[in-house]
Structure 1
Amino acid sequence: MSKLLNQFRSFYVRNYPDDMETQIDYFAVFGGLGWDVDTTKPISYLIEELILQNFSTLNEKIEELTLNESNNKRLLRALAIGDRRIFSAFKRAGLNNGNGGAALNFLQEKGLISIEYSREEPAQSLNPKKKLKRSIARHRISHKVLFTQPFIRFWFYFIAPHTKDILEKNYENLFKDFALKQNSYTSLVYEELSELLLNYHIRDSQILSSGSYWDANIEIDILTITDDEKIYVGECKWTNHQVNKKELHKIQEKCEKLEITPTQIVLFSKRGFSKELTNLSGKDLALYSSSDFAALVKNISKEELLEEFI
């Protein structure tokens, strides 16, 4: 069982939110922290009550985890807000392959991050005597990084940039930032959980490869391949409106560019789907909304609570 799934279940058993949308929203902020969270209270209220009022304690723990080393913290910040690609995170953090690589290795060994390896194939010319175009030849395949605890990513996404204001008890800019970016921030956790839900539903198959897919031109949220040569392609939308048929067309176009024929296209939506799209669901198209994530927390108990952040 993955660490993220353990944390998701632990959060649910500890706090029993009213619905799965609330579970996902609050888990994206507090997941891995290991504290009781009253999910009947507004999330912004809880950020102030649990995080900002305990800033000194939490910051001390963060400094301990990162050895209070600037390169480590700069890289975590860059990974939290960027596209998760290692090379672009080095650039954003002002690091090179040497000191950036050292920071990356330390954070991985510390268990704060994990590497998601690219499945992109190196470009090759159709004519072995002909060189690749410069733009293609210069493209570097880059692996990506995932945070092992949602709370650590939340800290470096929203809290660390506002440290000076927080020390002065000025929270206005932080909450403006959070209100503007909350859905975008939560999308990555939702994407990771969506992959877990898809793999739960195809658990009778042997999964050969699963995760996001990216190359120089295409990004797909979930691409899962099983040993019986079935291909599942998924897209995730954590937005406040229903997903419509246009999203289906987009993912079909991506599959055509990749020259793959999916066994099933799988769409995940925070707020459900249009009637037109719902009518198309079946063997070739699976649709999952927030309530379906209840499958991930079935038949668990307090005994499954794990050691977490604090």
Structure 2
Amino acid sequence: MEIAVKYFIVFGGLDIKIDTSKPLLELIEKHILNEYIDLRYEINSISGGYKVDHAILTGIAQGDRRTNSSFKRAFVSFEEGMKCVEKLVEKGIIEIESSQHHMAKKRGDDKIAKKLLFTAPFLRFWFAFISPIYKGIKEKNYKEFYELYENKEAEFGNFVFEELAMECLRDSFIEDPIKQFGKYWDDKCEIDLVAKTTSGRIIAGNCKYITSKLKKNELNKLKDDCTSIDLNPDILVLFSKNGFSNELKSQKNETLRLFTTKSFKLLLA
């Protein structure tokens, strides 16, 4: 499952068959870099190919996904940016996400910047790593791409890992289904997963797509973040790409649930 997730982060939504027995970079070069011209035509036919729209999409793909920072990266005003976003939403390229302030019984969420998310991982990959440096790729010079990808791969993968974790979490609560879910953020705090079950139980969790095992300090940070926003979760969850320390595993119980990429087998079912 770890390999499947790694490849899905790049190719998810691209309608081709992927041989996961081959190295990821080899497949990226074969199916994306070498096919740049054809893929650019296909993506432009979906997006419209407008320069400002593509600048905003790159801002979303490379940043924290908040409207304000994405527009700043694209060097457009908020008003112009939102007009472009409305068009891109209508085309099905991105969606708008709001912070789940109501789960913490907070008001004023309308003052918190919305976040923008791609509907397909491949589109996010394209606008993060291909579109910004297209000149070299078009000329079959891939050096800049490899340098950029090497520096940003782990950070880039975390968002898709969060999205998969959210779906996995929903599938894990069968007897008491989840009826509301999303993320929480404000100017000081971010919690990757917040959810509410049918019976009213509150769930809060974080996800880490990193090579090291998660330690107890990650659990302590989650608890501190919940306290800071007056969120009182009944269940805490942590998702880790590479497992957990023995100390953290020893605390696993009904109110602390630990998931790894192996848990994503639920999504295949």
TM bin, normalised by shorter chain, reads over 0.9
Please name the residue that 2:175 is paired with: 204
Match of 2:52, as an amino acid? N
Match of 2:233 among 254, 262, 278: 262
Please name the residue that 2:216 is paired with: 245
Report the secondary structure of 1:221's partner residue.
strand
Q: Distance in 1 between matches of 2:138 and 2:14?
A: 21
Please name the residue that 2:56 is paired with: 75
Match of 1:272, as an amino acid? G
Q: Distance in 2 between matches of 1:219 and 1:89?
A: 18
Match of 1:172, as an amino acid? K
Q: Which runs of structure 2 are paired with 1:132-281 in the superposition (5 Å)?
A: 140-281=111-252
Which string of whole-angstrom CA distances, capped at 9 and with x for unpartnered residues, describes residues 163-219 of structure 1? 011122110111111112111111000000001111111133343421110012110
Does residue 23 of structure 1 match 2:4? yes
Report the secondary structure of 1:241's partner residue.
coil
Counting aligned pairs with the same residue, the percent is: 37
The higher-RCO structure (CA 8 Å, 6+ apart) is 1
RMSD over equivalenced CA pairs, Å:
1.5
Match of 2:24 among 24, 38, 43: 43
Which string of whole-angstrom CA distances, capped at 9 and with x for unpartnered residues, describes residues 3-45 of structure 1? xxxxxxxxxxxxxxxxx10010000000000100111111110
Q: Distance in 2 between matches of 1:87 and 1:122?
A: 20
Match of 1:289, as an amino acid? T
Match of 1:163, as an amino acid? Y
Deviation at 1:123, TM superposition (A): 5.0
Structure 1, unaligned stretches of length 5 or more? 1-19, 125-138, 299-310
Which string of whole-angstrom CA distances, capped at 9 and with x for unpartnered residues, describes residues 124-151 of structure 1? 9xxxxxxxxxxxxxx9411111110000
Deviation at 1:88, TM superposition (A): 1.8
Deviation at 1:100, TM superposition (A): 1.1
Deviation at 1:260, TM superposition (A): 2.1
Structure 2, unaligned stretches of length 5 or more? none
Does residue 97 of structure 1 match 2:78? yes
Runs of 4+ in 1 over 2 A off after TM superposition: 118-124, 203-209
- Give the paired residue count: 265
Structure 1 contact 115–146 (Cα < 8 Å) conserved = yes
Q: Distance in 1 between matches of 2:198 and 2:44?
A: 44
Q: Distance in 2 between matches of 1:295 and 1:101?
A: 37
Please name the residue that 1:108 is paired with: 89
Q: Distance in 2 between matches of 1:174 and 1:246?
A: 35
Higher alpha-carbon Rg: 1
